Chain A
């Protein structure tokens, strides 16, 4: 067997940015979060400034996919020493170009500051967020220019596919994937090799391979980052799968909300076809594989494989009963293999480095790594890939840097609308399919949203139920009507009209829906409610019995009032209030008119003296309003 091209045996640590033609290079992150933070303007500024100092021929301004640490965006990495410049403003660019690129001195003042130690860190690799990760699926995301096939190839790209198609019989490839222990990264964790075996064994000349890029969980963006940051990794995995199972046609189904991923995948497919890595006679092996993109049209349920297949066929994306499984009868009734984006991105690594190298990473039951998108009330929001079996604490505190603003960790929501909330007492749970399922949550596709003490757990459950209720396709009664009844109860509770027995009703509905729904969407829809009742029952009880929201979050149960002792009468709140509810004389304590207040939080956000308080519960509200009035 030929040796894979010079890469370490296991877990690539953060990679060195690719260099082209020996030029120095500034890589500006063009991941979604950085673009929202203004990275495209930063890039333009780099181009203009480099031109201005006459370095155009020596320095290349490149774009890269998501670099990972989204909360530090917009960010750029200079190839000399992987110097990392976070939170860039357009005006900072001139300095970096003049002092660093032209003058050769790192701009100390603009370097990353470690929130733990206060020390400045120059090199990206030394930042804990990156050094604590093990990257396999994300190996090239944030390193290469996703629109340049040459960069992917320069880092060993397509060598795995070439090796597979020119030197390995299909059965050997399937065996390799089985031996690696890779399990479906879409969330269910079904062994990928076994799935391939079924599809390979299914009789028929026409088969299909599909990549599920319908990443619909709100708060999850790993698959998007791979598709728009390293599209060839997905394509290469699909080429290998097509040959292993015997499919000459494939589809990548991409969520409607990811236009950037669609654009980059299209470019990547065209480039791969031009180089003979896709299309007819791939690598001169005689194997033909045609790959197309299908854009979703906005339906969460299409992440379910039978619904996704219906959607590709142009139908309403409604799931159907299994069996028959897609491996036997899928797209247009033909044997079909569906895997998730991250799964395909891992496949090419496994073929390149061998099953043993992959299986050496991870835990007993779960091999390899898992990518997470870390978001919510965590210091380092972004993309994190860790070995399976790492603890939640490791991901949230070592990689994620703990909780924002010095607040307290309350829960982490895993797996989106199908998942659940895991409390602080279970932070040492290892990240693997079985351990997470035991908590009542699921691994899911990898969304990890951290909640602090200001997040209301009842409201979070209501949020997810509203989502699943909206997205329920309506085919089966338990999901269509059951989730609606649950949502009504949750809305009642968060509006302060909860009743005795509501918790029991929720639990009864939940178990019925779980046991009787047709597909995964319904079977998992009650999870956010069940886990919050299990771990945060006291919050439900406070809402129902005391008409009080402990997190001070549910609008119907809170009031904004001004502490007359703390208020200096600066009038700022009155200026910010959009409805004239906050008012008062200059230098006199202000008040908030409860009749007019719309609870928009503008006054509290504006107040420099912490004089605007949120209170909850009838007694507390009455007392605070009275204090305001009598001051």
Chain B
């Protein structure tokens, strides 16, 4: 029987999910593994299941596969795809490929950091958004581009980006949690206060 490992003291801030992990899922994933036992594929399926690779799942994989946890962490930390902390519900990816870089991708990331009060690579305090960068999405002719969940945005300017995120926050009914963004949004009338 798979052991149920619960480590509340190590749960990342803002995450209540770690307690409720169903580690029997890990056993199913390990059982499905192919003959050549690729740890990467195993971890990919684990991350698909939980949204990240929780510490307790790593312990469970180590126990079931007899691979030391240290080696599993070696793989997790080597590949950009894996995360050991939960990530915000809505995933924002700003492309930082060469074409997007020369078209001003840095300004897109900065605009989002400011609007959502979150650093690149991190999630917002309420775990609604995760802001990330990717090396290239291959949509270079629409540079700069970003993706929010399944929605894609091309030919962006900092201004378009702010508008897009404000609209999304409004759509999700989250304005109250992002006061900085709401005040910036209502600022349109101002400007004559010098």
Contact = CB atoms under 8 A, between A and B. Distances in A.
Contacts of A451: 102
Given A299-B80, A575-B190, A583-B194, 11 more contacts: A35-B139, A70-B140, A218-B97, A314-B38, A314-B42, A373-B140, A460-B102, A467-B135, A582-B191, A585-B194, A598-B114
Interface stretch (B7-15, B20-28, B71-79, B167-175): B71-79
B142 A600 contact: no
Interface string B24-48: 0000000000001111111110000
A221 interface: yes
A376 B114 contact: no
B143 interface: yes
A438 to B, nearest CB: 22
A447 B80 contact: no
Contact of B107 (A36, A216, A600): A600
Contacts of A601: 104, 107, 157-158
Contact of B75 (A70, A315, A463): A315
25 contacts: A32-B137, A33-B154, A35-B152, A36-B153, A36-B154, A70-B142, A218-B97, A218-B99, A257-B135, A257-B138, A314-B36, A314-B40, A314-B42, A315-B75, A376-B102, A449-B140, A460-B101, A473-B78, A578-B184, A580-B193, A584-B194, A590-B194, A600-B110, A605-B157, A605-B159
Contacts of B41: 294-295, 314
Contact of B102 (A216, A447, A455): A455
Contacts of B99: 218-219, 375-376, 381, 449
Contacts of B103: 376
Nearest to B146: A36
A314 B37 contact: yes
Contacts of A36: 137, 139, 142, 145, 152-154
Given A297-B79, A449-B98, A219 B140 contact: yes
A398 interface: no
Contacts, number: 185
Contacts of B43: 297
B136 interface: yes
Given A297-B79, A315-B75, A317-B78, A219 B136 contact: yes
Contacts of B194: 583-585, 590-591
Interface in A373-423: 373, 375-377, 381-382, 413, 416
Given A32-B137, A314-B37, A375-B140, A600 B154 contact: no
Nearest to A373: B140
A578 B111 contact: yes
B158 A600 contact: yes
B142 A297 contact: no
Given A297-B81, A299-B79, A375 B190 contact: no
B178 interface: no
Q: Please provide the 9 A-B residue pairs with the shortest distance between their CB atoms, ordered closest to farther.
A: A574-B191, A298-B80, A375-B140, A219-B98, A381-B141, A70-B141, A221-B138, A297-B79, A314-B38
